[in-house]
Amino acid sequence: MLNHMKIQGFKCFREAEIDFSYFTLLAGKNSTGKSTVIQAILALYQNSASSLAGNYMNIGTVNEVKNWIAGSKKIFLEAAYAYQDREYVYSKLFYDDGKEERNGVVFPEEMNIRYLTADRIGVEDTYQKSLDGKEQIGVRCEYAFFYLACHQDDELKEKDFIYDNKTKLTLGGQVDYWLERILGYRVSAEEIPGTELIRVSYRNRELGRNIRPKNVGTGVSYIAEMIIAAFSCTKGDVLMIENPEIHLHPSGQAELIEFLAFLARMGLQVVMETHSDHVFNGLRRCVSSDKMVNNKVKIYFFQQDEEKISLPVEIFLDGDGHVENQQDGLFDQIDKDLDMILGW
């Protein structure tokens, strides 16, 4: 589990520190540092020759991503994380010439970080198999349906992630439970014999027949991929999602957050970046209804000073989900719009 992060000289940050909990939400205007926090985690996690260019992300050279406004000469990233009831610290120092200094205890292989980029794959007639094994999801969820095809009849690997024991206890059964609850569909995936392709079909109670992905709403595929990715994790893993709200109706966003809050309560660590007030309020609603404890939630709102240096401001919720320190620009646009429309 990620506990704490230090960032120095990286992109929009001069210096910043972030505390993480079971559910950490990153909010703010465009280009204020939300995705940069996620990239900082990935730069520590991926152990390619260059930590800035690997399987999870490729963002260029140190010269491209150091903070020029602050006059940064180097980049320093450090994470404190817990593993098997002990806390460790791991850091990397990046220089202009491409050299890296790595100190501390590297993330263990057993500590899985599942990252889903905002640029997730959309609706397709068929999806690719992964050539790297049956456990891959892909940062764009490009192998999510391959994972489902391989494991849909297997018992869910993390039993505590089962919300209702009266439902089918397989991966496919749990994906269907949440997908139907949120959007009214079920999903199945199968390998096409003699190919490297996966065929996906949806169904609902009303039609009673299979429907190809392009004949249902785009959001159905997007949310199915996220549910599959979440269920590929186990307790202690980290699930990082950029913009989960893409292509989802507000009610679907709120239900998705309830699903992820349930998994966070059961031991999955969720780190999420969003522009959606429905995601934000969905999390507040979970706190209000005791589906998530406020001391297991961390919310950061990113602002910039006059020099365009980003500053994370921690947002606090009380036990009823009320914001204790509202900030200008923190999901208040609807209030501003209504004030203008109503002439207040």
pLDDT in tens, 112-130: 999 999 999 989 989 999 9
Q: Left, alpha or beta for 245 (phi > 0: left; psi -120 to 50: alpha)?
A: alpha
The predicted-structure confidence for 327-337, as pLDDT tens digits, reads as follows 999 999 999 99
Extract the tokens encoding 48. 């390619």
Instruction: For residues 191 and 171, give the distance between their C-alpha atoms in angstroms, rounded to a whole number.
Output: 17
Check the CA dihedral 216-204-125-152 and report its sign. positive
Q: Model-level pTM? A: 0.95
Instruction: For residues 271 and 299, give the distance between their C-alpha atoms in angstroms, rounded to a whole number.
Output: 10
Query: Which CATH architecture group holds 1-112+235-344?
Result: 3-Layer(aba) Sandwich (3.40)
Residue 147 near residue 232 (C-beta atoms within 8 A): yes
* Other C-beta atoms lying within 10 Å of the C-beta of residue 85: 5
Write down the pLDDT at residue 50: 83
Q: How far is CA 74 from CA 33, 56, 60, in A?
A: 18, 22, 14
- What is the arithmetic mean of pLDDT over 244-257? 96
Mean pLDDT of the chain: 94
Write down the pLDDT at residue 199: 96
Q: What percent of the chain has pLDDT over 90?
A: 86
The predicted-structure confidence for 176-203, as pLDDT tens digits, reads as follows 999 999 999 999 999 999 999 999 999 9
Alpha helices in 139-276 (DSSP H): 144-151, 171-183, 218-231, 250-265
Shortest CA distance to 312 belongs to which of 13, 65, 44, 23? 13
Domain ranges for the chain, please list them: 1-112+235-344, 124-232
